[in-house]
Structures are given as C-alpha cells and as structure tokens.
Amino acid sequence: MRRLTRAQQSMYCRGLERALDTGYEILASGGKSLDAVSAAVVALEDDPLFNAGRGAVYTAAGTHELDASIMDGATLRAGAVAAVSRIRNPILAARAVMEKSPHVLLAGKGAEAFARKHGVAFASQRYFHTAARLESMKKGLKGHHGTVGAVALDRDGNLAAATSTGGYTGKLPGRVGDSPVIGAGTYADNASCAVSGTGWGEAFMRVALAHEVSARMRHRGESLVRASRAALQSLTRVKGDGGLIALDRRGHIAMPFNSEGMLRACVRAGGRRIVRIYR
C-alpha cells in the first residue's frame, strides 16, 4: 500500500475504530458473530475512505463494480455477490443470498434483481463517486486496490467472516477478484478458523488462500498463527502480495501481511483493542 501521511493515518484509524466498535457492541451484548461481521463491514462500506461500497474504486470504463461475501463457520453456509453496481451495501446482499436462496454466488444484474426483491437498499451511481478514487483512475494507477473485511467469534463459539471490495483501480469491467470467492478471499469453519483477505485477488484465487489457512490447521495441526503465515507465504509462488485477518475458536488472532502495510484492528473480550497500519 502507498505510504500515508500522519493525517491520513489518523483518519483511517478512526474509521477502523468505528467499525471495530460497531461489531464489538454486538458481541458484547451476546449477539451472533454473523451479525457482528455484517455490521462491521457495513460501517466500512459506508465510509468513503475504504475501497468498498461508497468508496469503491473505478473500473477502466469509469464505473463501479462491487463484490462481497459472507460465511457462517457453524454451518458452512455462505453467500456472495459479484460485479454489482447499485447495491448500497454489497455485504447485505451477500447475506441475503446465503439466507434466502439455495445459492452461494450471484453476479451482475441477476444479483441486483435478487437483492431488490429481498429489500436490500440501492443507491444512485453518484453515491459511489469520490474525487480521490476518480483522480486515481485518471492518473492510471492500475492495480491500486483494497478490501475491507471482518472476522468474529461469539459467546456460543461460532465463527464468521465477511469481505467486501470495489476491486482495483482500472480493472476491466466484469473482472471478479477473490473477495466473493469462498475459499479464496473469505472462509469460516468452526473446526478451524475464520479468514478474510486483502491483496491481489488473482493470486489469492490461485492458491485458495483463505481455505489454505483452514486446511493447514485441520490437516497439519498447525496453530492459527503458523497456518496464516504459511498460507501467506504461498503467495510467493504466484508473485502475489497482500494480507489477511484470521481468528480461531480459542480467540487467537493472526493478521500477517507481506506488503508495506495493512490497515488492521482487533478487539478482545473486555474491550482491549489494537489498531495498526504499518509494522
């Protein structure tokens, strides 16, 4: 990621803290992990600083195409939407796919029709416009990417993960990255962990990064931290970069990355929090 000024770092950290508090309040009151990750991601989608929802980057055609997914670690149910352009909070559409259809992934106009039918809020294309994102596209900053995500563990021991993104600046219309692909950008299984990733999506899909963390824990008996680091290391095979946030049923947290920095935050029972950008 590009180096941020001190003022920018402060703004991003405040945005992370708002999302963190939104999810934590749900968990602290006995709520479900699914509700916590949904709410945290909605808060990030509503913040124009982040590349998801309102702050999504522009495609090469000057449009917005949004992707999101969510997964329930207790049941392995999952839902996702891809290449949608008018849904205000794509993560809520992804959850509707999970809870109100027999499918996992819906894309484009079909996903939007389904979301509208089930009461998911829409917004005008102007809603997604931000001057900074447009300037990045005009400067030709291809590959400038970002993703928002959340993982949570509730009082019942259930894990959940959610991820949302606008993709990367200047992407071809119709391009879909790892964020809505279960096992690549998002995965949750009570038997192992919950994972949400951010980075070059094509690389994440090639190594099935999120599922790789879970698989290493289940089949090799690795700890969350070791499995997360090893899975991230596998990106070197495809010259990928990025990072992930992961959580297991015992409350262990891992947030490794191989880029210069990664916006990340966590909060534990009792309210103790960590908010970081660089190493």
Query: What's the residue count for the chain?
Result: 279
Sign, Cα dihedral of 196, 46, 17, 141: positive
Q: Which residues contact 119 (CB under 8 A, 6 or more apart)?
A: none
Q: Is 130 a catalytic residue?
A: no
Is 209 in contact with 186 (CB distance < 8 Å)?
Answer: no
Backbone φ and ψ for 193, nearest 5 degrees, come out as -165, 175
Q: How far is CA 196 from CA 79, 159, 228, in A?
A: 14, 12, 11
Residue with tokens 């989608």: 45
Helix (H, G, I), strand (E, B) or coil at 69: strand
The catalytic residue among 22, 63, 75, 147 is 147
Q: Report which secondary-structure segment, H or E, holds 40.
A: helix 33-45
**By three-state DSSP, how is residue 9 classified?**
helix
Tell me the C-alpha distance between 125 and 273, whole Å.
Answer: 36
The set of catalytic residues is 147
